[in-house]
Structure 1
Amino acid sequence: MNVFVAGATGVLGRELVAELAARNHHVVGLSRGARGDELVADRGGEPRRGDILDEKSLADAAEGCSALIHAATAIPTSRKPTEDEWVRNDRVRAEGARNLVAAAEEVDADRLLLQSIVWVARQPDGRPFDEESSPDPDRTTRSALDAERIVRRGGEEGGFDVGVLRCGFFYSPESAHTRQMGSGLLDGKFPILGGGPLGKRDATLSMLHVEDAARAFATAAESDATGCWHVTDDEPVSLATMLTAFADRLGAPEPRRIPGWLARPLVGRHSVRLLTKSMPTTNRRFRETFDWEPTYPSYREGLDEVVETWRNDGLLIAGGDGYEWREQ
């Protein structure tokens, strides 16, 4: 196939370009400059210049492609994201979805896949949920739900197939958030945020290693199945368990626990909500629809890979009983 990837220079996009190229597809990756061209080409793709927020440039870049993938986001990585940063992410998700729908119609594509997030359907009481559960979006996830509706409507009106992959909480050696977590644990500055007045109530998170996300998208691109699927690993985990396991692998101090409300002035209420509200879901429907299973079935195998990669890349330097973080 000829596959177009919007977001090809991001953490997921880079893995996806490499995965699709390894499967012998011709991959076109959207790029906005020379550095983006290099990132796409190094992973076996053909870089084409354009902007997710510019409809014409997007259609020009996607010319000749039968499958289009919206993997572009602008999720803030600052310690306390501003409203402007969230607005930028909203535009990339929703306006980007509208532009990709228009591009799919312009180039007569057969298929459009959208990367969404499982916590658009997280339930207020924290109970397990699935693809049939009613959405419960908040400020940070509303645009993801908007994008889902845009691509579904676009597929119905434009005559192309649509697949929505709601992914779990991403982590990987290349992820800025994972690196912030690792360096923060080593410095003793990444606490466990708990719910409730005393911070003793743990949230359960559905996780997904980025490599597994890329394999999921490549598998879905090769199929003609349509629908919405949750793509996660096999084992939801509490934030406390995951952070403690991460610290143990790094030889870092055991992370301290603080109430989420106490951290709100430092990191913002949206980040606190993400880490203190449970989102337990399952990949069952995706497994049943596609020939896919996660290479990293739980946080344990995934964190092992993250730490090993950081060691090999020189980001972690052995010192004493653990490691020190080397800034790059």
Structure 2
Amino acid sequence: MTSVVVTGAGGFIGRRVVCAANSAGYSVTAMVRKPYPDAVHSVIQHDLSLPLDKLPPADWIFHLAGAYAGAGDEELQNADLAMARNVIHCGVAAGIKNWIFASAAEVYGDVHGTATEEAPTEPVIPYGRIKLKVERLLLEKTKDISNCRVVILRIGEVYGSESRLITELTARLKRGFCPWPGTGDVPLSFVHVDDVAQAFSCVVQSAPVGISVYNVADDMPATWLDFSVRVARLLGTRPPVFLPETVVHLYATCGTLACRVTRREPILTAHAVRLITTPKALSNTRLKHELGFEPRYPKYSEGLEEVFRGLSHHS
């Protein structure tokens, strides 16, 4: 039986990855910060930003634990980089040979056209920079492991019924006023969370020995304008109000400064504004051709239909 350790197993993507691994018959160890409600082989409850004593023997580590994509440098250094160092150190010490790291499209920076895995990595926000640092750290620390498989998944904009993207966008649209920076005409690749989980399964089944990098995305890049307007139509609300980027940047900066005084989490950060105004359209051709990936939702519109059917069923 294939055994996997999943970090960030309690998160939005992590829970779907665990579900897919369970369905495939894998023995799953879920690593979480809070009590874990789902049935798995074992659970390790630990704050991964703190040193680990050890990891159990396993065939694979799926490393998904990390902070919010709109976070700043300091938070990401204290979260993503610290967690990666601890997990990689213990995983290598435990003799684990096979690794999947959940990286992100943000490592490419401003994408011109559609990014393949050979595109330059020139991140423009802290989230992209820290993901690229973790990629390089993982490759460095595993380079002497023989017959290993180290796989980097550069994942597009993930959505699903429990995603931060859908819950926050839905809440703002329902309030009747949803400001959006710029025109929204920013090309990017979306991917349904179930298709992200499928990509992990494809890696375990088919990835070659050595280092591999794959983009994880649906088949049809779209724009934030397309996506947000479609969500508004499904909700029956007004679409977002598109504002000049300078106005939204000023709002985000002022809000962040105010939140430092009140010690609250800002609603919008300058990094989050940059996140949704940076093009990041991805090609999934390599993942499809080499590992047999076939997205269940090849277009974001099909995935959104499923998301809102599920939400209406539960409401």
Q: What is the TM-score normalised by the length of structure 2?
A: 0.87
- Is the deviation greater in 164-173 or in 305-314? 305-314
From 248, 253, 268, the counterpart of 2:233: 248
Residue pairs, 1:46-195, within 5 angstroms? 46-57=42-53, 59=54, 62-75=55-68, 83=72, 86-123=73-110, 126-138=112-124, 139-159=126-146, 160-194=148-182
Which residue of structure 2 lines up, in the alignment, with residue 305 of structure 1? 306
- Deviation of the 1:224 alpha carbon: 3.9
Q: Measure the CA separation in 2 of the matches of 1:112 and 1:309.
A: 33
- Deviation of the 1:298 alpha carbon: 1.2
Which residue of structure 2 lines up, in the alignment, with residue 233 of structure 1? 218
Residue pairs, 1:264-303, within 5 angstroms? 264=249, 265-266=251-252, 267-303=268-304
Which letter does structure 1 place at the counterpart of 2:123?
P
Which letter does structure 1 place at the counterpart of 2:230?
A
- Deviation of the 1:222 alpha carbon: 3.0
Which letter does structure 1 place at the counterpart of 2:47?
D
Query: In the comparison of the two structures, how many residue pairs are matched?
Result: 294
Q: Measure the CA separation in 1 of the matches of 2:97 and 2:206.
A: 11
Which residue of structure 1 lines up, in the alignment, with residue 21 of structure 2? 20
Q: Which runs of 5+ in 2 are unaligned?
A: 253-267
Q: Which runs of 5+ in 1 are unaligned?
A: 195-199, 315-328
Instruction: Report the identity percentage.
Output: 25
Distance 1:261 1:45, change over 3 A: farther
- Deviation of the 1:100 alpha carbon: 2.1
Q: Deviations over 1:277-302 (max 9, x none)?
A: 21112111111111211111111011
Whether the 8 Å CA contact 1:164–1:228 is kept in 2: the answer is: yes
From 205, 227, 238, the counterpart of 2:188: 205
Q: Measure the CA separation in 1 of the matches of 2:177 and 2:74.
A: 28
Whether the 8 Å CA contact 2:69–2:272 is kept in 1: the answer is: no
Which residue of structure 1 lines up, in the alignment, with residue 263 of structure 2? none
Whether the 8 Å CA contact 2:50–2:82 is kept in 1: the answer is: no
Larger relative contact order, structure 1 or 2 (CA cutoff 8 Å, min sep 6):
2
Q: Deviations over 1:104-163 (max 9, x none)?
A: 222111201100001211336x33221111111122311100000011112213343210
Which letter does structure 2 place at the counterpart of 1:71?
L
Whether the 8 Å CA contact 2:18–2:28 is kept in 1: the answer is: yes
RMSD of aligned alpha carbons: 1.9
Which letter does structure 1 place at the counterpart of 2:171?
S
SS at 1:301 equivalent: helix
Q: Deviations over 1:183-242 (max 9, x none)?
A: 111222323422xxxxx4711111111111111112212334231111001111111111
Distance 1:219 1:92, change over 3 A: farther
Q: Measure the CA separation in 1 of the matches of 2:234 and 2:159.
A: 15
Q: Measure the CA separation in 1 of the matches of 2:303 and 2:173.
A: 17
Q: Measure the CA separation in 1 of the matches of 2:76 and 2:205.
A: 28
Which residue of structure 2 lines up, in the alignment, with residue 32 of structure 1? 33
Q: Deviations over 1:242-299 (max 9, x none)?
A: 1111100111112222122211123232111111121112111111111211111111
SS at 2:246 equivalent: helix
